[in-house]
Amino acid sequence: MQFRDLNRQYETLKSEIDKGMQEVISSSAFISGRPVEALEADLAEYVGVRHCITCGNGTDALSMSLKAWDLKAGDCAFVPDFTFFASAEAVALEGAVPVFVDVNPRTFNIDPQKLEEAIQRVLAEGKLVPKAVVTVDLFGLPADYDAILPIAGKYGLKVLEDGAQGFGGELRGRRACSFGDISTTSFFPAKPLGCYGDGGAIFTDDDDTAAYLRSIRVHGKGTYKYDNVRIGRNSRLDTLQAAILLPKLHAFISYERDAVNHVAARYTEGLGKRIIPPCFDAKFVSSWAQYSIQTESEQIRNGLQQYLKLAGIPTMVYYPIPMHRQKAFSHLGIARETYEVSERLCKTVLALPMHPYLEDEEIDFVIEKVRGFFEGEKA
Ligand SMILES: *Cc1c(COP(=O)(O)O)cnc(C)c1O
């Protein structure tokens, strides 16, 4: 069994993917070819925003977005303490300070009340200028925008939705990657919508922001490539990756998202009461980038992981180290703050195999083994 089986997806979509790639090779339009435009139009329509700007990867998508707001030294942006490193790295790349905020133990996403406390603390200290909140839709579940957007509005902060794992999620019928003033995603192969290499995209309703982002992804171009009006960078999505993503997006929309929701529901139904399943709340739809359970202790989590490994079931720990304890951020001097939930999650979470091509027998085998561990069976 594979943790995320990309081969099965390729077997299913092979004829369309191969055809798309062959067309790109025949056209020789390897950069900015027609499939890139087609993909941007389809992505914008699916998400429900005016503009989609594809780029080189999800980390560039975040840092270009923060650059569009002129985030710089002396500024800060609030970032959940429990996330992938890039959410906070992007803030530091622009010279600003990531201020970490603890998360909700059920959703794993930024805790809105603690966000407001952190904003007030930074304002009271008067050392940094709060500019933005980087919300993360962790493991496929949108952050609680019902609570976050009013807080951001109250303090005049921009919202950058890091939807690298959230693409395809929903909150009350509105799609992930449409909640931020700017929202981003990643097409890293293992994400809900992945390509065959690196790729990313930025979403916004704001015309000026979109024009700025289209400029800086190609060396700050003006009217054309050799008219350079600002310092930009090189961050484009390859045409080949767009051609691979087009059939994958259509599969994602027509059945893959439903399939992962089926897997998640079957896990939750079967796993029993010795583990805490991930959040199911009727106002959200998750795209299940991960199905992460929690155990009572680190010892139980590690024992379960080892037991499942012996049974041939791969699992992952996302994430073992909270942001505030990453060595790269040790110069920020944040040790005096407490991140109780995020600390505990790093010790107790375990992600089970999750992808749209898991079969019922495989899901049931995982369930049987998890239950077997708690019932004291030998692997
Ligand atoms: C994967 C990921 C990113 C970075 O995306 P890349 O395409 O790998 O650069 C950023 N934020 C989160 C939450 C991610 O999971």
At residue 9, does pLDDT exceed 80?
yes
- Read off the CATH number of the domain in which 191 is found: 3.40.640.10
Q: Span 291-298, mean pLDDT? A: 98
162 CA → ligand 1 middle, Å: 8
Both 63 and 157 in one domain: the answer is: yes
- What percent of the chain has a predicted confidence (pLDDT) above 70? 99
Domain count along the chain: 2
Domain end call among 248, 269, 301 = 248
Rounded to whole angstroms, the Cα distance separating 257 from 251 reads 9
Domain end call among 248, 267, 295 = 248
Mutate to test the pocket of ligand 1, among 55, 59, 233 (most ligand atoms within 8 A of CB): 59
188 three-state secondary structure: coil
In a domain, residue 75? The reply is yes
- Confirm if 196 and 171 have CB atoms less than 8 A apart: no
In a domain, residue 1? The reply is no
Both 165 and 284 in one domain: the answer is: no
DSSP per residue over 14-67, as a string?
HHHHHHHHHHHHHHT--BS-HHHHHHHHHHHHHHT-SEEEEES-HHHHHHHHHH
Both 163 and 180 in one domain: the answer is: yes
Both 220 and 285 in one domain: the answer is: no
376 CA → ligand 1 middle, Å: 38
Q: Check residue 76 and give its pLDDT.
A: 98
Domain end call among 248, 271, 302 = 248
368 CA → ligand 1 middle, Å: 32
Q: Span 92-114, mean pLDDT? A: 97
Which residue's C-alpha comes closest to atom 10 of ligand 1? 86
60 CA → ligand 1 middle, Å: 9
Both 264 and 168 in one domain: the answer is: no
136 CA → ligand 1 middle, Å: 10
Both 300 and 215 in one domain: the answer is: no
Which residue's C-alpha comes closest to atom 7 of ligand 1? 58
- Residues contacting residue 122 through CB under 8 Å, at least 6 positions apart: 76, 99, 128, 130
Query: Among the atoms of ligand 1, which is closest to the Cα of residue 186?
Result: 7
- Read off the CATH number of the domain in which 281 is found: 3.90.1150.10
59 CA → ligand 1 middle, Å: 6
Kindly report, residue by residue over 227-263, the tens digit of the pLDDT. Answer: 999 999 999 999 999 999 999 999 999 999 999 999 9
Query: Among the atoms of ligand 1, which is closest to the Cα of residue 137?
Result: 13
Residue 221, domain extent = 6-101+108-248
Residue from 84, 88, 90 nearest 165 by CA: 84
pTM of the predicted model over 0.85:
yes
Residue from 189, 157, 193 nearest 175 by CA: 193
Q: Of 149-163, 183-197, 269-283, 332-346, where does mean pLDDT reach its minimum? A: 332-346
Rounded to whole angstroms, the Cα distance separating 74 from 27 reads 47
Q: Check residue 335 and give its pLDDT.
A: 64
Both 210 and 282 in one domain: the answer is: no
Mutate to test the pocket of ligand 1, among 110, 136, 188 (most ligand atoms within 8 A of CB): 188
Query: Among the atoms of ligand 1, which is closest to the Cα of residue 61?
Result: 9
Both 211 and 316 in one domain: the answer is: no
Both 164 and 219 in one domain: the answer is: yes
Task: Report residues whose beta carbon is within 6 angstroms of any ligand 1 atom.
Answer: 57-59, 83-84, 86-87, 136, 162, 164-165, 186, 188, 198, 200
Both 197 and 311 in one domain: the answer is: no
Tokens of 342: 């995020």
84 CA → ligand 1 middle, Å: 7
- Residues contacting residue 267 through CB under 8 Å, at least 6 positions apart: 277, 291, 352, 363, 366, 367
31 CA → ligand 1 middle, Å: 22
Which residue's C-alpha comes closest to atom 6 of ligand 1? 58
Kindly report, residue by residue over 298-351, the tens digit of the pLDDT. Answer: 999 999 999 999 999 999 999 999 999 999 999 988 766 789 999 999 999 999
In a domain, residue 327? The reply is yes
- The Cα-based distances of 151 to 48, 94, 116, 155, 157 in angstroms read 23, 24, 7, 6, 8
Both 183 and 272 in one domain: the answer is: no
Which residue's C-alpha comes closest to atom 5 of ligand 1? 58
In a domain, residue 283? The reply is yes
161 CA → ligand 1 middle, Å: 12
Both 127 and 213 in one domain: the answer is: yes
Q: Span 49-57, mean pLDDT? A: 98
Q: Check residue 283 and give its pLDDT.
A: 97
Residue from 329, 323, 328 nearest 342 by CA: 323
